[in-house]
Amino acid sequence: MRKTTQLRRLLESPSLEFIMEAHNGLSAKIVEEAGFKGIWGSGLAISASLGVRDNNEASWTQVLDVLEYMSDATSIPILLDGDTGYGNFNNMRRLVKKLEQRGVGGVCIEDKIFPKTNSFLRGDRQPLADIDEFAGKIKAGKDMQSDDDFLIIARVEAFIAGWGLKEALLRAEAYREAGADAILIHSKLSNSSEVFSFIKEWDNRSPIVLVPTKYYTTPTNDFREHKVSLVIWANHLIRGCVQKMQEITKQIHTDENLLAAEDSIVPVKEIFRLQDDQEIAEAEKRYLSNYAKDPINAVILSASRGKLLGHLTSDIPKTMLKIGKESILARMINHIYEHDIKDITVVTGYKSDKVDLPNLNKVVNEDYEGTGQMVSLSKAIDKLDRTTLLLFGDILFRKYILQFAIDDPEDVVIIVDSKIDTNHSNKSDFVYATEPDVQSYFGETAYVNKVVFSEPNAEFDGEWIGVMKLSAKGADMAREFIRENQDKPEFSNLDVRDMINWFADNGVKVKIQYISGHWVDVNNISDLTLASEF
Ligand code: SPV
Ligand code: MG
């Protein structure tokens, strides 16, 4: 429905309706999200947000530019506080034309003299417009509008200027006859006696609009009983955000850091949401040809200390242990870079501050001691929004191994070493597969039947090395698994193999890419020696 029609329906609906102040695109969006059916484009709030006074210091085209952002950001109508119409009848005509072009639902003009002053400032000294001149301005606006539903509301300032009820009624009637769609009767009293006395005499000649900023203690039901059509909450967003901005700047200035501030403001991702970044992400898929490549995320689980490595990990997590000149993690990251994957997230825990490589997204599993791998992975759940490589942070492997995982088009792929070293007694993730490695030479595809945490044993088909690829769909399924389970108490103990088993048990095929050696994991001192030779 056209915004003009929406606004007219609000005004003419039999029940009391409400619109709320906004002063830019963002606040307009917040008003719409809160459930309001219309927006008040407040002169006070827009001028304040621009850092100028409510005295027509911002030009009418500058106000128009703000309105364009507000209108573009929302699907509900805006009623502009058009002050005095920014000039005479001719300026009013031009204003109406431009507002219609920008999808604004209507305008309210007040019977004062340009440049105006806010009604709550020196009201008694404010001169009122000549009645006939103002009525002509309304008529000019009505004649100019091309959309019949565009609203022109006349705001009567007789009470503000101290002229009383008789003058208010005289003016309102002249404006109604000139074509005004409604009367906004304004008052600066702290009670509603003036506006209610007006409403009584007005006797429903046309819809009534109120701005109860000063008489805010009047119960809303009293407005209903007086058959008010529209109430404007005129400046409460600008006042609310000024308070918050003052608090937060004071805090940051005093603290010289962001710690306390961070907890009392919205996260950056809420800003992205309000900006509708999601839409651009989807549009990129449609319109950017190289987006089809679907950039890949890598998530490395590196939260654990590596207790079996004793004093070597007393001050750093094992992922930061140096093998030759570089840490395990640095080597892994270099491998990942070679596959043109730039978005790498490391889940840290033990001695998280020691994981300080450049260009890393770091998320922390604080409870790394009391939780399993799935809790760590859940910390990076936002990364599971596209093809994702999942890696354990304590392995070294030859480069081709990642290529195997990346190139396989299936949704869930794990790398399994079919060469089982039964002399090696560490417990690890061993796999029962639908096919052993030898069958893959004959073109058979192997899938996981089950992964068990066990000592090595010849009956297994291989050892999962801690590398997994999830396609965008696979990543979706992993995210679903996390969402469905993370509130259950047993989630804290789950490891990635439990998710693999859940996939296998629920009909999601987990493809195996077999390798034979060419990797090591670092669990104890002898692994470290092996790794150095690797
Ligand atoms: C505004 O919001 O700018 C108004 C209403 O004109 S008031 O400030 O209450 O006069
Ligand atoms: Mg105003």
In angstroms, the CA 213 to CA 216 distance is 5
- b/e sequence 138-173, b meaning 16+ C-beta within 10 Å: bbbbbebbeeebbbbbbbbbbbbbebeeebbbebbb
DSSP per residue, 172-195: HHHHHHHT-SEEEE---SSSSHHH
Contact 276, 74 (CB under 8 A): no
Domain containing 83 equals 3-234
Is residue 304 domain-shared with residue 220, that is, in the same domain? no
Ligand 1 pocket list (CB less than 6 A): 42-44, 81, 118-119, 211, 213, 234-235
pLDDT at res. 82: 98
Give me ligand 1 centre to Cα 118, in Å.
7
pLDDT at res. 382: 93
Is residue 510 domain-shared with residue 370, that is, in the same domain? yes
- The rounded percent of the chain whose pLDDT value lies above 90 is 78
- b/e sequence 303-312, b meaning 16+ C-beta within 10 Å: bbbbeebeeb
Is residue 378 domain-shared with residue 475, that is, in the same domain? yes
Residue 108, token pair as written in the block: 């309210």
Contact 394, 522 (CB under 8 A): yes
Looking at all shown ligands, the one closest to residue 215's CA atom is 1
User: Is residue 455's pLDDT more than 80?
Assistant: yes
Angle of the 89-101 helix axis to the 60-72 helix axis, nearest 10? 20
Last residue of a domain, one of 218, 234, 250: 234
Residues 251-273, mean pLDDT to the nearest whole number = 94
Give me ligand 2 centre to Cα 247, in Å.
26
User: Is residue 394's pLDDT more than 70?
Assistant: yes
Last residue of a domain, one of 234, 256, 286: 234
Give me ligand 2 centre to Cα 252, in Å.
33
Last residue of a domain, one of 234, 265, 282: 234
Beta carbons within 8 Å of 348's beta carbon, 6+ residues apart: 302, 303, 317, 355, 362, 363, 364, 365, 368
Out of 39, 111, 118, 238, mutate this one to test ligand 1's pocket (max ligand atoms within 8 Å of CB): namely 118
In angstroms, the CA 492 to CA 487 distance is 9
Overall number of domains in the chain: 2
Nearest to 465 by CA among 425, 503, 418: 418
Is residue 15 domain-shared with residue 87, that is, in the same domain? yes
The CATH number assigned to the domain holding 84 equals 3.20.20.60
Ligand 1, atom nearest to 234 Cα: 2
User: Is residue 180's pLDDT more than 90?
Assistant: yes
User: Is residue 300 included in any domain, yes or no?
Assistant: yes
With cut-offs at 50, 70 and 90, classify the pLDDT of residue 291: low
Please name every residue paired with 302 in a beta bridge, in sequence order, or none if there are none: 348
User: Is residue 249 included in any domain, yes or no?
Assistant: no
Residues 297-318, mean pLDDT to the nearest whole number = 87
Burial of 122 (0-12, 13-18, 19+ CB in 10 A): exposed
DSSP 429: E
User: Is residue 275 included in any domain, yes or no?
Assistant: no
Ligand 1, atom nearest to 213 Cα: 9
Give me ligand 2 centre to Cα 88, in Å.
17
Residue 435's identity, in one-letter code, is E
Is residue 311 domain-shared with residue 214, that is, in the same domain? no
Ligand 1, atom nearest to 214 Cα: 9
Looking at all shown ligands, the one closest to residue 44's CA atom is 1
> Containing H/E element for 364?
strand 361-364
Is residue 223 domain-shared with residue 317, that is, in the same domain? no
At 381 the three-state DSSP class reads helix
Prior bond of 267 cis (ω within 30°)? no
CA 141 remoteness from chain centre: 39
Out of 44, 157, 215, mutate this one to test ligand 1's pocket (max ligand atoms within 8 Å of CB): namely 44
Is residue 443 domain-shared with residue 522, that is, in the same domain? yes
> How many Å is the maximal CA-CA distance in the chain?
103
Residues 289-318, mean pLDDT to the nearest whole number = 82
Residues 425-437, mean pLDDT to the nearest whole number = 91
With cut-offs at 50, 70 and 90, classify the pLDDT of residue 34: very high
Out of 21, 49, 54, 159, mutate this one to test ligand 1's pocket (max ligand atoms within 8 Å of CB): namely 54
Is residue 197 domain-shared with residue 302, that is, in the same domain? no
Out of 47, 119, 210, 239, mutate this one to test ligand 1's pocket (max ligand atoms within 8 Å of CB): namely 119
Residues 407-433, mean pLDDT to the nearest whole number = 90
Give me ligand 2 centre to Cα 354, in Å.
56
At 430 the three-state DSSP class reads strand
In angstroms, the CA 324 to CA 398 distance is 16
Question: Where would I find the beta strands (DSSP E) of 144-272?
Answer: 151-156, 182-185, 208-210, 230-233
- Which of the residue ranges 22-36, 110-124, 411-425, 451-465 has the most confident prediction, judged by mean pLDDT? 22-36
Nearest to 152 by CA among 109, 196, 120: 109
pLDDT at res. 295: 81
Is residue 46 domain-shared with residue 117, that is, in the same domain? yes
**What is the residue with the minimal CA distance to atom 5 of ligand 1?**
234
**From 240-249, 466-475, 523-532, the region with the lowest mean pLDDT:** 523-532
User: Is residue 445's pLDDT more than 80?
Assistant: yes
Contact 107, 99 (CB under 8 A): yes
Looking at all shown ligands, the one closest to residue 40's CA atom is 1
User: Is residue 253 included in any domain, yes or no?
Assistant: no
Residue 438's identity, in one-letter code, is V
In angstroms, the CA 195 to CA 188 distance is 10
Ligand 1, atom nearest to 42 Cα: 2
By annotation, the residues acting in catalysis are 54
Give me ligand 2 centre to Cα 5, in Å.
23
CA 151 remoteness from chain centre: 33
DSSP per residue, 296-336: PEEEEEE----GGGGGGGSSS-GGG-EETTEEHHHHHHHHH
With cut-offs at 50, 70 and 90, classify the pLDDT of residue 421: confident
User: Is residue 248 included in any domain, yes or no?
Assistant: no
pLDDT at res. 453: 95
Is residue 220 domain-shared with residue 350, that is, in the same domain? no
**From 117-121, 326-330, 378-382, the region with the lowest mean pLDDT:** 117-121
**From 87-96, 417-426, 475-484, the region with the lowest mean pLDDT:** 417-426
Is residue 138 domain-shared with residue 216, that is, in the same domain? yes
Residue 27, token pair as written in the block: 């606040």
Ligand 1, atom nearest to 211 Cα: 9
Is residue 360 domain-shared with residue 228, that is, in the same domain? no
The CATH number assigned to the domain holding 358 equals 3.90.550.10
Ligand 1, atom nearest to 119 Cα: 10
The tens digit of pLDDT for each residue in 182-241 reads 999 999 999 999 999 999 999 999 999 999 999 999 999 999 999 999 999 999 999 999
- b/e sequence 52-66, b meaning 16+ C-beta within 10 Å: eebebebebeebbeb
User: Is residue 290 included in any domain, yes or no?
Assistant: no
Give me ligand 1 centre to Cα 158, in Å.
15
pLDDT at res. 497: 97
User: Is residue 278 included in any domain, yes or no?
Assistant: no
Beta carbons within 8 Å of 225's beta carbon, 6+ residues apart: none
CA distance readout (Å), 68 to 26, 95, 99, 272:
12, 13, 9, 20
User: Is residue 240 included in any domain, yes or no?
Assistant: no
Nearest to 530 by CA among 426, 405, 414, 400: 426
pTM over 0.75? The answer is: no
Contact 393, 300 (CB under 8 A): yes
